[in-house]
Structure 1
């Protein structure tokens, strides 16, 4: 493989940091799972409109390709990688009030974390047999959950139409990844080894072998962020009694996309802000102050519908889970105050 030719309008972090000299230095390196520089940058080369451009195949590759990955991680997260990452998922340390107790603005709250098993390759490098083993380990662990977390697992492979339609209506069903994930190798052997777990109340959910091996999700209608976080914390704590998740003192929880390192957490609300939505400058100014990300209701690259937006934390590395959720809650409160000031 020769040094890739990027178009002149490429603005990804891969384009910014991959020089011919660095390429020559890294091109022959290979992890114990056979992951190479070519695999690492494949998605960003195929999709020069990527914002990042790299997907990592295993824990070792974060060290092996550190000369390329660490500058990307530093710029995206804005952190000093010499400091250790701290994790804190203790709900007692969160202790926040509902920012919308009357339910006028927040439609729903959702907090998820990504996790991958230690000593297994990540999605871009995992073999079919290994993915099936991950699924088996995940199902065994999920079946031990008790009380309000207890539920059932639905494998995507061989799923009957009735179950499929119900999961679509519940907005639980995940599909093959987009062109960025496809180029990274994350869609291989679809849908084998993938599945969905959810509890009876439909407030706890786990996606198995999507972008990461685990997407562990707590959600409910309204703005009780404390309750959603507490449920997620209990679930993760229970799963950690049976599973060992990949973790680095410097990078936090290991994920296939470097943007999710650290807490690997996305804490979000669907919130109705029609007045503020008409003033994008002010909207984005508040979001920037509290390190928030603004999306449409159907996720990244989607548009708002009916003045409803998906607002989430942007910072994941260099902050604890509690700090990330507190920051999101403060930002949401500020957005509500501005919307109210405008007569909403």
Structure 2
């Protein structure tokens, strides 16, 4: 659990980089993609680097589809990388806080994911890895524009800073749309739990910078952090309003959700995420005691479709997944974390 973890689930820094004299991934042949994977992985794993014992290379072509989807569900790779499995790879460090995606939308995407509000710490980690690679690889760089990327919105610093936030009280009180509109007006993007084009499940939102040109990394991170701190305060104010204006109604909602999670025999992923949002709020407001937030975080990951099938050791129909999801959650909650 990191700082401000009652509201901030995680902080992420992602750096987009490309290699000079290689076409962008969309135009790469299979042969060239393999050459690029070797070039990037050797930049980390070979020679006298401080990182070579920390990382392991996984070529997605050699992984079963289910394993690839588990990596998506655990935020270690993007869905786009998984779709490009024939010519993509990922380098993961031991604690899986860092993933280096190869041949996603760009040749290299360095991602650092830390719990709570730790944008600066994630940036320090990403910057260190970027420096190691830049010593060994000639990046595509323009003196006027900065780092060149396949998407114009990433040109410049190539940085995407984001926070995953849980905002149930702002949603319940109806203020969430104002927050999202205000974020958009100051150049921030708001996306669903798995990024662009995904649903806002369980009152969880990803907030990130949209443009990387014209500002340095420190300014981009500082701007997002300042806005995030304001959102944290507004969410806490909304929680206090709910607790003071109608505590019985809030308690009833949270205990009902807890009761369903503890006893249901069938749970869809969408219903599960909403119920877990209520449970998370109940733990944060101390309405629910005896269950740790670590258990909720484990359930969030383990109740995803691919992860359930991985545990089962076989493909499952949607109905079978719903049954397994309910059983897993009952077991986790009864252990009381």
- TM class by shorter-chain length? 0.5 to 0.7
The alignment covers a number of residue pairs equal to 236
TM-score, normalized by length of structure 1? 0.62
**Counterpart Cα distance in 1 of 2:239 and 2:66:** 45
User: Which residue of 2 is the match for residue 259 of structure 1?
Assistant: 153
> Which secondary structure does the structure 2 equivalent of 1:306 belong to?
helix
- 1:123 paired with 2:19, answer no
Which structure 2 residues correspond to residues 64-143 of structure 1 after superposition, within 5 A? Answer: 101-143=3-45
Gaps of at least 5 residues in structure 1 are: 1-99, 179-186
Match of 1:172 among 76, 79, 94: 76
| Deviation for aligned residue 1:165 | 6.7
SS of residue matched to 2:61: coil
* Residues 257-292 of structure 1 deviation map (CA, whole Å, 9 limit, x = unaligned): 112111221111111112333324421343145421
Residue among 93, 107, 115 paired with 1:213: 107
The match for 1:240 is 134
Do 2:11 and 2:122's aligned partners in 1 also have CA atoms closer than 8 Å? yes
RMSD of aligned residue pairs (Cα, Å): 2.6
Alignment-derived partner of residue 299 in structure 1: 195
* In 1, Cα distance between equivalents of 2:112 and 2:43: 17
Greater helix proportion:
2
**Deviation for aligned residue 1:214:** 0.6
Give the superposition deviation at 1:173.
Answer: 4.3
State the Cα deviation string for residues 180-235 of structure 1 (Å, max 9, x = none).
xxxxxxx7xx5333111110011111111011111111111111222111111111
Name structure 2 gaps, 5 residues minimum.
Answer: 241-337
Regions of 4+ moved over 4 Å: 160-166, 173-178
Residue in 1 aligned with 2:297?
none
**Residue 341 of structure 1, CA deviation:** 2.4
CA distance in 1, matches of 2:211, 2:67: 36
- Residues 290 and 330 in structure 1, CA contact (< 8 A), matched pair in contact too: no
Closer, same or farther: CA 299–149 of 1 in aligned 2, 3 Å: farther
Shift in Å, 1:109: 0.8
**1:316 matches 2:220:** no
Match of 1:328 in 2: 224
Tell me whether 1:340 sits opposite 2:242 in the alignment.
no
Alignment of 1:190-229 (within 5 A): 190-229=84-123
Counterpart position of 1:158: 62
User: 1:200/1:316 Cα in 2 relative to 1: closer, same or farther (>3 Å)?
Assistant: same
